[in-house]
Structures are given as structure tokens and as C-alpha cells.
Amino acid sequence: MKIVKLDSSVYNKIAAGEVVERPASVVKELVENSIDAGATKVEIGIVNGGLDEIRVLDNGSGIDREDVKSAFLPHATSKIKSAEDLAMIKTLGFRGEALASISSISMVTIRTKTEEEDTGTYLKLRAGVAEEENVCTMTHGTEITVNNLFFNTPARLKFMKTTSGELSEVKNVVMKLILANPTVSIELSDEKGIIYKTHGDGLYNCLFAIFSKELCDNLIPVQYEKNGISVYGFAGKSTYFKSNRSYQISIINGRVAENQSISSAISTVYSHFMMKRTYPVAVINIALDPAEIDVNVHPTKAEVRFSDNNRIFSAVYHALNDAVEKDIAETKLLFTSVNDDAEQTVKEGNLIMQKDSIAAAIPDEPYETVKRDILPKNGFSVFSPFGSMETFREESHIEKGIIAEYKKLKEKEVQTVMENVSSYRIIGQVFGTFLLLEYEEKFIIVDQHAAVEKLRYDKIVDEYKKGTVPIQPLLYPLTIDVSPAEYTIVSEKLGQFRDIGVEIIPFGNNCFKMIGVPAILADMDLNVFIREILSDKQEKESDLVKERLAYAACRSSIKGNTYLSNEEIASLMDTYFKKGLPLQCPHGRPAYFVYTKKDLEKLFKRIV
């Protein structure tokens, strides 16, 4: 077979096939060139989704007149000079392929001027061949217009999406460019008008210009720096998620790119809060020494590699985790039921009784206390038919006076207690599932199961991390028959089960014996729990621990459709909610919603 050297018109089209996939690719390459040229303002205009026309105008440094034609030659670039420069890439472009590839499959005109030149340069190319060159008037910067994209590669046109589909791709690319360059004013428009417009006034304002107010209201700032790696940006709250990963954008040294270590770090931080098939929001910038990153691994530079993935994972994880934990601590509702002295007064059976409960206890308590501790034990006794002895007596006027005076003293004492009670008030419970509370002009609806489940989960996780999960030995060990596949899975994870308080030992062929469970699960249906832990999923250890501990907390918590008395609700308030209402359960479901007085007034049209 004879070997021939391909003509430039052929290999340029081949190169274009990798670099220019669709109109969005052209927009990306041209805008990145503008940013590399130091532009602080970039205007992008497209027609028919970019297939008919793409125009990019910037106020960058421009191109010298003698270099304009060279800019469209293959592998011609101003970004690097030698192979050694590849180890320290600081620009978005560097390969010298973009302009040559774009011009080879379209009609391109360029107007450009440097600040030092008196006039600008105009050049028109068709399929990569210069057709017209002249001078022009313009301020410094560059304007490139691309018409009839793929006009000489009609096969590629067959694979384009509809106009709206290509417009969507362009919007997605420009969105990422805006977020990666928050100090650059970028405008995108089409035949119908302006789509995006930012003013280069910071990342949050860029986010607000692109996304909904709802999303922006659910963002928290991220700021972290250690070991030469800086991570900053915004991330979603632990209660806010989307149905896909498109809201996770990582920017490395100003370049939007993907990396598995970054994605894993984001997922790990939010794994304790997410429901299934939901994904966190994160727009983060990562800055590090260019020598530690390889951007030359993908034709469109959409993927990067790091010299040390563990360092990147650690930096992103700690940056996001610190931000999320800080937000949870600041937004979590905290209740202080009563002060220390008051608690000693109203505690009965380790219950903190609320105002209504305290008041209800007053009428009966004085008589019983006086009878036991003060009044003489006179009268006569008879034996009940049921075997117990009952005492009958008639109160004297003196006794009645003592009781009345005692009651007044107790009422005064209770009033003192009630003055120390914080402003929360238990309204009641509905559907045996939701607790209704009033707290500092807020109306709070609590899912009793989700709230208790999360607090118990946190307790078990804390015990797990300390290696102190209390184990309850089973009086009658449970024999577990399993399939050969299940036997292999469980055998490999005996240590992991033991760490979370589940003691399982081999007991013959395809059989185990459960001899101990977490103390918190002692009263649970163990047969149900056994089927849960005998999962055939090949889980990572962290996933197994999370899921099993969450399951343990779930099964040991108060269920829905469980009606509680006011005293039981008050006990929960003291035992659990005083530590701070959790935002959601371990499975990601919300634990409570808060409505202000103003919210309710709006709901009932009392105010507008």
C-alpha cells in the first residue's frame, strides 16, 4: 500500500472534526482566544443556533497586522514557544488548531487592531484560503465572524441538532465561560435578543445572571486554601439538590474541565444528605501550580489530569465539607427549654413539661404531696375486694387551709418556672406524624420520624468513628442461612459489620450466626434487618457503613402514624430538639419546614 502525504485541505478537515464538533465548539474557542488576549468585555452573537453565523467581538490586545494571516495557519500560536512550555500552561488555548480548523470548514472574516496601530486589519477567508485583505477602522480588539459553518463538509451538517438544540449547546458553553471568568463582562444574544449578560462584577452576580433566584438563595460560599491549593466558589446547601449533575461545574486555573477526583469529593461530602437520584450544586474554582496539572489530554481540553489526585480530592472535600457544616450549624434551629434551676423544679420522670402540662398538674399535686408529707395519717382503713388497702378520711378545716396555702405557693413557684421557659410552644401533633411548634414568631412543622432518625444517626456515626458502638449480645443467637453468593459477600464484610455493632460469625456451610446487634436495635425485628444487610450490591465500605447506620437509625426511630402525648412531645423537645433540629434525615428527606408570621399572613392574603 502506497503512503501519501495528505493535502492541507484534507488534514485540516480531519483536525476540524475533533476541534469543531458543532457551533458551540466555535464559540468556546473564539471566546477563550479573547480571554487569552486580555479582554475585559466579550460580545457573542449567533444566528440559527450558530449554524448560519457566529460573531465574537472583544476589547483584547488584538493581532499585529503582519501576524493576521499566520494566525489561521495550522499549529500557529502565540501561547507557547517550545515543548517545555507544555509543563506550565497558563492560557486557555495553546495548540494552534482552533482558527485553522474553523476557517477550513466555513467562511471567516476578521477585523483586528492593536493599541499601537493607527488602523485595523481586515481579512476574509473561505475554506481556509484568504480571499480579501484590507485595512479597516475600529478600536483596539478583535472581531471574528464565522458564516455557513460546515458549508464544505455537508456530511457533518446531517449530525447537527435542531436550531433550538444547537442554541442550548451554545448557552451551556457560554454559561461555563461566564462562571470561569467572573471578572470579564460577557454578553450572548441571538435573533430574539440578549440571552446572557454579565458585568464582570464577581462570581455570585454571574450566578444570579444565569440561574434562578431560588438556586442562588440556596448557595453557600466556599473558601479554602492549603498546601498550595486554593478552592473557592459556591455550593448548594445540604437541603438543596438537582435532578442531574449539570449544576456541578469545576474550574481549574480558569478552565472549565472535568476530573473524577473532584466529582468524587463533591459526592462524598453530600452523600449523607442526598436522596437517591439527586445531585448537589457546586461551582468551584481550583487554583494550583500549572506544573501539577496536565491539560493536554483531550482534543477539546474538556478533561484534565493532576499529578496528585489525592491532594485535589482532599482540598475539594475539606472546602465543601467545612462550608456545609458551617451552614448547618448556623441555620439549625436550637431550642433552650428552661434554665438549670427551673429544670430541677419541673422534671418528672425525666420529662420537661410545657406550660400547659405544668398548669394541668397543679390541681392534683398539692393534695397528694401534703397527704404524704404533712397531714396526719388518721382516719380508718378497709381492705379492698381486690386485695389493696384504701384509706378513707374526712378533711378538716385546718387541713383544707394547709392545702390551699400549699397550692398558692406551688402556683407561684410554677409561675417563676414559666417565666424562664423559652419562647417555644408545642401546639400539638397532626396525623400522628407531624409536630406543630411555635418559636419566636415562627411556625414550625416537624417530621417526628425524620428528625429523630437524623439525631440518632449522628449519635451512631459518632460512636462508630470513636469505635464505641455499644453491642447488645443476643440471648438467643439467630441462625442465618444464605446462598453461596451471599456467603462470599458477608464473609468479606464481617469486620465492617462488627464496626457498626453487628456481630456475625461463620456457622457451617452457607450459614452464619448473629450473636450481637447494636444496642439501639435490640428491640427491632432482626429478620427484617438481616435481609437488609445481606445485600448483593458490591458496595464500597463507606457506602455500606452509611447505609447500614442510616438503616439502624431509621428502624429505631419513632415512626409516622404514632400519636404522642404532650408530655412525650415535651420529652422529645428536651432530649432531641434542644441539640438543634436536624435539617434532614440520613436519606435526605427534610426534617422540618419553617413559616414566619409574615408567610402565613401572605398565605391568607392579610398582606400582599
Give the model's pLDDT for residue 119. 92
Could you tell me the three cell numbers for 380?
A: 380508718
User: What is the predicted pLDDT for the residue at 75?
Assistant: 64
**pLDDT score of 147:** 94
Q: For residue 412, what pLDDT is reported?
A: 53
The pLDDT of residue 36 is 87
pLDDT at 15 over 80: no
What pLDDT shows up at residue 174?
95
Q: What are the phi and psi torsion angles at 382 (to 5°)?
A: -135, 155
Give the phi and the psi of residue 96 in degrees, each rounded to 5: 75, 25
Judged against a pLDDT cut of 90, whether residue 458 lies above it is answered with no
Cross-strand pairs, 58: 42, 142
For residue 161, the number of C-alpha atoms closer than 13 Å in the C-beta half-sphere is 14
Closest by Cα among 382, 375, 380 to 396: 375
pLDDT-derived band at 568, boundaries 50, 70, 90? confident
For residue 510, pLDDT beyond 60: yes
Q: What is the predicted pLDDT for the residue at 392? A: 40
- Indicate the DSSP class of residue 581: B
> pLDDT tens digits, residue range 42-85?
999 999 999 999 999 999 999 889 888 888 876 656 554 445 44
Name the pTM for this structure: 0.62
**Average pLDDT value for residue range 142-171:** 86
Three-class SS of 513-529:
EEEEEEHHHCCCCHHHH
Reported as a single tens digit per residue, the pLDDT across 474-486 is 888 888 887 787 7
User: d(Cα 40, Cα 27) in Å, to the nearest integer?
Assistant: 17
User: What pLDDT shows up at residue 13?
Assistant: 55
Counted residue by residue, the chain has a size of 608
pLDDT tens by residue, 327-365: 888 877 666 543 333 333 333 333 333 444 434 444 444
Q: What is the mean pLDDT of residues 413-430?
A: 59
**How are the residues of the chain apportioned to helix, strand and coil, as percentages rounded to the nearest 5?**
40, 25, 35
For helices 541-555 and 448-466, give the axis angle rounded to 10 degrees: 130
Q: Is the pLDDT score of 100 beyond 90?
A: no
Average pLDDT over residues 562-579: 72
Q: What three-state secondary structure class fits 260?
A: helix
Cβ atoms 71, 85 nearer than 8 A: no
Instruction: Give 520's pLDDT tier (boundaries 50, 70, 90).
Output: low
Does residue 162 register a pLDDT over 50?
A: yes
Domains, the chain, with CATH or none = 8-192 (3.30.565.10), 211-331 (3.30.230.10), 335-354+421-608 (3.30.1370.100), 363-420 (no CATH)
pLDDT at 562 over 70: yes
Q: Which three cell numbers stand for residue 525?
A: 425485628
Residue 318, Cβ density class (10 Å: 0-12 exposed, 13-18 middle, ≥19 buried) = middle
In the chain, the N- to C-terminal Cα span, in Å, equals 82
Q: Which residue has the higher pLDDT, 255 or 93?
A: 255
